[in-house]
Amino acid sequence: MLKGIDPIINAELIHALMLMGHGDQLVLCDINHPAQTIARQTTYGRLIDVSGCGLERAAEAILKLFPLDTFISAPVKRMQVVGDPEGQVPIFAVMQAVIDRSEGHPVCIEALERFAFYDAAKNSFAIVRTSDPGPYGCFIFSKGVV
C-alpha cells in the first residue's frame, strides 16, 4: 500500500500505467468484453484485472494518474450500441461525467463500431477489466503528457 494512491490501482496496473508513453492506449472494460482473448495481442500481452470494481470507480482512480492526450480531438473512444450507432446506454453518460470531471472540461468521446473497437483494443498497450456487468462498458483512453 502506498500513500495517496487509490487502492483500486493494484501493483500490476500501476506498473503498466508507468510503462506507457504518450499516445499509448489503455482499454477499460466491463466483464462482457473478450478481454482475455484480446489482451494477448496488446503490447502488455496479458490482462490486468481490477476485480470488485465497476467502470466508474476504476476510471476515477486511473484518471487521477493518467493524463489524456490533448493533441488529438477524441482522446477517449467507446463501443457503439450494436444495430443502433446513435444509441445510448446509461454507462455512456456516467463515463462522460467522470472523464469531464477528471480533465476539468468536456472531453470528446468517439464511438466505434463493435469490431472496429475490438481492432483498436488489439492495438492498445493494455486492457484493464473491471467487474462492471455492462453492457457496452468498453472505453479506450489515449495517454497524453504531464
Residue at 96 is within a domain? yes
9 inside domain: no
How many Cα neighbours within 13 Å face the side chain of 19? 14
Task: Give yes or no for residue 66 having a pLDDT over 90.
Answer: yes
- Distance CA(68)–CA(103), nearest Å, equals 8
Q: Name the percent of the chain lying above pLDDT 90.
A: 96
Ranges of H-type helices in 22-146: 35-39, 55-63, 90-103, 114-122
> What is the phi/psi pair of residue 138, to 5°?
-130, 115
Question: Of 118, 119, 132, 136, which residue is the catalytic one?
Answer: 118
Domain for residue 18, yes or no?
A: no
For residue 119, is it within any domain?
Answer: yes
Model confidence at 2: pLDDT above 90: no
For residue 33, indicate whether it is catalytic.
Answer: no
Average pLDDT of the chain to the nearest whole number: 97
Spatial separation of the C-alpha atoms in residues 32 and 34, rounded to whole Å: 6
4 belongs to a structural domain = no
Q: Using CA atoms, how far apart are residues 111 and 68, in angstroms rounded to an integer? A: 17
Q: What's the structural domain count of the chain? A: 1
User: Is residue 8 in some structural domain?
Assistant: no
Choose, from 15, 22, 100, 119, the residue flagged as catalytic. Answer: 22
DSSP states of 45-64? -S-EEETT--HHHHHHHHHT
In a domain, 65, yes or no: yes
Residue 136 appears among annotated catalytic residues: no
Mean pLDDT, range 36-43, rounded to an integer: 98
pLDDT on residue 95: 98
Question: What average pLDDT does the segment 82-107 reach?
Answer: 97
Residue 1 in this model has a pLDDT that exceeds 80: no
For residue 132, what is its C-alpha cell?
Answer: 462492471
| pLDDT given at position 111 | 98
Secondary structure (3-state) at 42? coil
Which CATH number covers residue 80?
3.40.1650.10
Give residue 137's domain range. 23-142
Quick one: DSSP state of residue 90?
Answer: H
| pLDDT tier for residue 138 given thresholds of 50, 70 and 90 | very high
Instruction: Decide if pLDDT at 112 tops 80.
Output: yes
Residue 124 grid coordinates: 492498445
Q: b or e along 53-90 (b: 16 or more beta carbons within 10 Å of the residue's beta carbon)?
A: bbbbbbbbbbbeebbbbeeeeebbbbbbbeeeeeeeee
In a domain, 28, yes or no: yes
Q: pTM here? A: 0.97
DSSP 71: S
Catalytic residue among 24, 30, 49, 69: 69
